[in-house]
């Protein structure tokens, strides 16, 4: 599951962040159920495009940015260098602390993970949520097979669907946003 982005990929992501940040990433962060004091996990944080906006909503909380790539984590550290309420984790082994997060979110990440790996990742994310915690993901709408698997795995791991919506994202097309609550 190791992956390192190219310099071009990082550059294009940074460009998209600068050009479309408010319409794509801030819009998603603004819909996260955050009141300001939560413990939050950004799974697959990349360069911190959503985390940049989510961290602003956590003046008394904490954001953990997690990725499988050292290069993405380094880019994320640069994006979020002005914040003090953030920690950065490299996903080397799937060992998150049980029931440690109020909110876990994934933005355009899960569809890139193999089905066999999703069968390990989704239960780990669910286990990391406190009871009543919220799992939110946004994925490309055309990834119907992966979305069906993600939903099935979420529900098998005591996450109940609360809400979903289809959004049109500039330069990315339609996406499905889903919100689940841990029983």
**pLDDT the model gives residue 94:** 58
- CATH code (residue 79): 3.40.50.150
Q: Does residue 1 lie in a domain region?
A: no
**pLDDT the model gives residue 93:** 58
**pLDDT the model gives residue 23:** 86
**pLDDT the model gives residue 104:** 98
Among residues 167, 113, 158, 115, the alpha carbon closest in space to that of 133 is found at 158
| Domain of residue 59, residue span | 7-182
Q: Does residue 133 lie in a domain region?
A: yes
Q: Does residue 2 lie in a domain region?
A: no
d(CA 123, CA 157): 6
pLDDT tens digit at each of 183 positions of the chain: 567 889 898 898 889 888 888 889 999 999 999 999 999 999 999 999 999 999 999 999 999 999 999 999 999 999 999 899 999 999 875 568 888 999 999 999 999 999 999 999 999 999 999 999 999 999 999 999 999 999 999 999 999 999 999 999 877 889 999 999 999
What is the Cβ-side half-sphere exposure of residue 50, based on CA atoms within 13 angstroms? 27
Number of domains in the chain: 1
CA torsion, ordered 145, 73, 166, 175, to nearest 10 deg? -50
Among residues 29, 38, 33, the alpha carbon closest in space to that of 163 is found at 33
């Amino acid at each position: 599951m190791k992956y390192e982005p190219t310099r071009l990929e990082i550059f294009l992501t940074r460009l998209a962040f600068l050009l479309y940040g408010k319409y794509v990433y801030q819009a998603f962060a603004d819909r996260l159920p955050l009141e300001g004091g939560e413990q939050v996990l950004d799974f697959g944080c990349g360069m911190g495009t959503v985390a940049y906006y989510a961290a602003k909503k956590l003046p008394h909380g904490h954001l953990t940015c997690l990725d499988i790539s050292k290069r993405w984590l380094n880019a994320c550290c640069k994006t979020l260098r002005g914040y003090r309420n953030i920690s950065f984790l490299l996903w080397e082994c799937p060992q998150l602390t049980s029931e440690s997060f109020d909110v876990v979110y994934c933005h355009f990440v899960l569809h890139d993970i193999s089905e066999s790996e999703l069968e390990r990742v989704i239960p780990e994310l669910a286990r990391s949520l406190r009871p009543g915690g919220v799992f939110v993901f946004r994925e490309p709408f055309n990834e119907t097979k992966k979305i069906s698997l993600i939903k099935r795995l979420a529900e098998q791991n005591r996450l109940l669907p609360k809400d979903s919506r289809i959004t049109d994202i500039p330069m990315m097309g339609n996406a499905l946003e889903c919100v689940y609550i841990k029983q």
